[in-house]
Amino acid sequence: MSALTGGFTSPAPQAARAFRLALMALSRPGRIETVSGATGPAPLSAAAATLLLVLADRDTPIFLGAGHDGTDVREWIAFHIGAPLVPPEAAMLAVGTWPDLPLSRFPIGLPDYPDRSATLIVESPAISAEGPRLTGPGIAGEARLSLPEVNAFRANRMLYPQGLDFFFTAGDRLAALPRSTQVESA
């Protein structure tokens, strides 16, 4: 494993497939998808590395949480993506564990342009379909997802249409929580 290995071997089909799965996860909150294709240097998970390759390019400023901000990850991003690494206030995409991401510092968009907000890739120890209850657009009845906490996501929902969107990654599995979803403790 080095800074230069671990990219897509067949970029167009692999990126399209992974992008489709990321969209499925985001439009069906709580649904867990399995993605593959990229492997990044530790501690980057395969799912987070694949998401980065799919979502980021040289025009996508990325914030790395303290645990992920190392030479290996920086060089990997420089070779495979070329994205600038920035502080949270300027980030469009962020990668890190839940404690490493300073939620209050990310852009949540403007009332006129709610899309100018950050998407957070939260590296988790594990993802499972149990825990806090999710309801809202894209969910038939209710769904459950192992979230690190509840209050932060309730506060994020209150900002709607502004707010942050979340991907949760563990190994090669990913789930997502858009700003439109209502979260209640189980």
Partner 1 sequence: MSLLTDRRALMGLLARAAPDRLAALAGPLPEAIELRPAQTGTVMVQGRIGGTGAAFKMGEMVVTRCSVQVAGIAGHAHVQGRDKAHARTAAVLDAMWQADPARIAALLAPLAAEETARRQTRAAKAAATRVEFFTLVRGEDQ
Rounded Cα distance, 62 and 47, in Å: 16
Please identify, using beta-carbon distances, which residue of 7 and 131 lies nearer to partner 1: 7
> Closest CB to partner 1 among 54 and 147?
54
Cis bond upstream, residue 161 (ω within 30):
yes
5 touches partner 1 (CB under 8 A)? yes
Nearer to partner 1, 82 or 99 (CB): 82
Tokens of 110: 């403007």
Q: How far is the CB of 80 from partner 1 (least distance, A)?
A: 8
The binding track of 51-80 with respect to partner 1, each residue x by CB under 8 A or -, is ----------------------------xx
d(CA 79, CA 76) in angstroms, rounded, equals 5
Number of residues that bind partner 1 (CB under 8 A): 8
42/59 Cα distance (integer angstroms)? 24
The angle at the Cα of 99, spanning 169 to 86, to the nearest 5 degrees, equals 80
H-state helical runs in the chain: 11-27, 46-55, 71-80, 151-158
Q: Does 7 bind partner 1 (CB under 8 A)?
A: yes
Q: Which is nearer to partner 1, 7 or 102 (CB)?
A: 7
Measured between alpha carbons, how far is 55 from 50 in angstroms, rounded to an integer? Answer: 9
What per-residue string of b and e applies to 59-73 under the rule 16 or more CB within 10 Å gives b? ebbbbbbeebeeebb
Per-position x/- string for 11-40, each x denoting binding to partner 1 as judged by CB under 8 A, each - no binding: x-----------------------------
For the bound state, the minimum distance from the C-beta of residue 154 to partner 1, rounded and expressed in Å, comes to 43
Among 10, 71, 104, 151, binds partner 1 (CB under 8 A): 10
Q: Which residues, numbered 75-114, are part of the site for partner 1 (CB under 8 A)?
A: 79-80
Q: Would you tell me which residues interact with partner 1 (CB under 8 A)?
A: 4-5, 7, 9-11, 79-80
